[in-house]
């Protein structure tokens, strides 16, 4: 089983490397990627998209199954897909480029840096956070996405009335991270998380009949 998982990850890495080695795909992907700049301390969506529009952010977007569909569905909004893994971010960028949509860009970075430091206060219309790695072992605690600091900065950066959507397949993780969002001052919202059954991971879990734990958190007006 373990060997199968490692084998699958290796195949994905090889696929990512292959795609980026193809000049045409690479050119398409590079156009979708926000360029990393050591002096970049802020993200300015109007400068990126050339217009002022509501901005939605997916954290840990994987290969973009959800965000590409969502961006196509809402052309009047702009979207940033944040992905830490360089290999996955490249596959994601090529897929975004091939989808031919102009309201989506890929940021290859640690979402904690983006949310905690680079986004303006009250500037985000929605966060989508689906199936973040739970990193259950204590020695991996530094990799965990959800902390009180992240929750406080999700609160800070959301526009009043805007929502952060969260889903996980791990019951214990849900019971840890949902209260963190409550404690940050966010209020549980009745709206269903639009990606909870539509991301790449979600589709596999739904097909396998596994439970998904989802919640939506609104910043008070």
Ligand X SMILES: C[S@@+](CC[C@H](N)C(=O)[O-])C[C@H]1O[C@@H](n2cnc3c(N)ncnc32)[C@H](O)[C@@H]1O
Q: Which is nearer to ligand X, 46 or 200 (CB)?
A: 200
Of 187 and 192, CB closest to ligand X: 192
- Which residue among 44, 133, 172, 182 is the active-site one? 133
The nearest distance, CB 52 to ligand X, in angstroms, is: 26
**Residues 6 or more apart whose Cβ sits within 8 Å of residue 189:** 163, 216, 217, 218
Q: Closest residue (Cβ) to ligand X?
A: 60
Is 133 part of the annotated catalytic residue set? yes
Q: CB nearer to ligand X: give 25 or 59.
A: 59
Q: Rounded to the nearest whole angstrom, what is the least distance from the CB of residue 65 to ligand X in the complex?
A: 6
How far apart are CB 50 and ligand X at their closest, in Å? Answer: 25
Point out which residues bind ligand X (CB under 6 A).
59-62, 82-85, 88, 110-112, 130-133, 145, 199-202
Which residue number, 16 or 62, has a Cβ lying nearer to ligand X?
A: 62
Nearer to ligand X, 51 or 140 (CB): 140
Nearest distance, CB of residue 167 and ligand X, angstroms: 8
Q: Where do we find the tokens 């990393």?
A: 36
Residues present in the chain in total: 221
The bridge status of strand 78-83 relative to strand 104-108 is parallel
Q: How far is the CB of 183 from ligand X (least distance, A)?
A: 20
As annotated, the active-site residues are 133
């Amino acid at each position: 089983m373990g060997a199968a998982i490692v084998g699958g990850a290796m195949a994905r890495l090889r696929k990512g490397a292959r795609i980026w080695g193809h000049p045409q795909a690479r050119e398409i992907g590079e156009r979708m990627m926000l360029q990393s700049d050591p002096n970049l301390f802020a993200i300015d969506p109007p400068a990126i998209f050339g217009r002022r529009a509501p901005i939605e952010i997916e954290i840990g977007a994987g290969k973009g199954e959800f965000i590409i569909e969502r961006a196509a569905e809402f052309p009047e909004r702009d979207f940033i897909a944040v992905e830490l893994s360089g290999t996955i971010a490249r596959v994601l960028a090529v897929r975004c480029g091939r989808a031919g949509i102009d309201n989506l860009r890929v940021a290859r970075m640690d979402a904690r840096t983006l949310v905690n430091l680079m986004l303006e206060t009250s500037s985000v219309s929605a966060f989508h956070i689906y199936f973040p790695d739970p990193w259950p072992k204590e020695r991996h605690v530094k990799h965990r996405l959800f902390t009180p600091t992240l929750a406080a900065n999700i609160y800070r950066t959301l526009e009043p009335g805007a929502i952060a959507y969260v889903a996980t397949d791990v019951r214990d993780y849900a019971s840890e991270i949902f209260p963190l969002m409550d404690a940050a001052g966010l209020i549980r919202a009745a709206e269903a998380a639009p990606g909870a059954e539509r991301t790449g991971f979600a589709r596999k879990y739904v097909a396998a009949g596994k439970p998904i734990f989802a919640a939506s958190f609104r910043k008070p007006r």
